[in-house]
Amino acid sequence: MTSALPFDDFRKLLAVLPTGDAAAGERVRAQFARAEKPQGSLGRLEDIAAWLAIWTGRPPAVTKPLVAIFAGNHGVARHDISPRPVEATARAVELCAAGGAAINQLCLAHDLGLKVFDLALHLPTADITEEAALDERGCAATMAFGMEAIAGGTDLVCIGDLGVGNSTVAAAMFAALFGGTGADWVGAGSGADAEMIARKAEIVDAALARHAGRLTDPLEVLRCIGGREFAAIAGAVLAARMERIPVILDGHAATAAAAVLQAANPAALDHCVVAHLPVELGHRKAIERLGLEPLLDLRLAHGEGAGAALAAGLVKAAALCSTGMAAAL
């Protein structure tokens, strides 16, 4: 038996979230207006610099950025919803640890810290077509782990994810939060063919039907349909908000976890930006529903936070432009 208690602390945090420092953002915009350049000529770079200032409360600077990748496995993957075996999640984590993944090179290129979190990969969550992915206590504990994961003084959090089958799980969460059926939200993921995509849609519909009575509560959507990486990301994004740390979101799991937070509080993602425009139409539609405009469009479908790391380089550049440009005479 579970009680309402494990989620109570998160509900309280989500009810009263810190706001940004609007005056700090206005100071950045005024500084750009005085710079030796045409008005507004740096476009979204000016918006990004102002966003940094709003959430840090100081002149834009990125001195200790962190890419945090959360990896989880899913019992629903047994339904042949991914061309990759479940073991591929652990192999990807090992590759990151060895320095041989794309994300390692991108972190080197932009001087970013990197942490990869193995969320009990040996113990996949329950099959969401038959039972809840996690019990409430386990989901809350994983959210708490995500909150602790960003501790250490970072000033920009870049979120990534790894998990075979998690695009199907995310599609189910999008359908639960935004409406529609599996066919409205699933896509190719890591390379599914038409037959597999149809199977993914059926699995989403089965999961929605199985948990229909619980899906009006966003945290229950996370618990019943999500997974460990989803819960940890929700916790990390929430912790960043409590500490007024800007966040770059990247990937299916990050978007779905963010959607849970926004459903609980419409202002919950004000400190977040989306790294890049996804290839999959369902994922694009989810980002549009969140009201977030991607920073980049590079046709990325790689995962592991690659888009967030690239976007972090853009954010760092915006900060330097804000503080380093000469004023007009």
Positions marked active-site: 304
The whole-angstrom separation of Cα 103 and Cα 162 is 12
Torsion angle in degrees (nearest 10) through CA of 278, 280, 282, 288: 20
Closest to 251 measured CA to CA, from 279, 228, 270, 215: 279
Tell me how far apart the terminal alpha carbons of the chain are, to the nearest angstrom.
70
The whole-angstrom separation of Cα 254 and Cα 233 is 6
The whole-angstrom separation of Cα 124 and Cα 138 is 13
Contact present, 224 and 128 (Cβ < 8 Å): yes
**Rg from Cα positions in the chain:** 19
Contact present, 37 and 63 (Cβ < 8 Å): no
The whole-angstrom separation of Cα 75 and Cα 86 is 9
Sign of the C-alpha dihedral computed for residues 210, 213, 218 and 224 taken in this order: negative
Residues β-bridged to residue 191: none
The whole-angstrom separation of Cα 283 and Cα 262 is 16
Within 10 A of 14 (CB to CB), how many other CB atoms are there?
A: 22
Residue 115 phi, psi (nearest 5): -130, 135
The H-or-E segment that residue 65 falls in is: strand 65-71
The whole-angstrom separation of Cα 169 and Cα 187 is 12
Within 10 A of 122 (CB to CB), how many other CB atoms are there?
A: 7
Q: What share of the chain is helix, strand, coil (3-state, %, to 5)?
A: 55, 10, 35
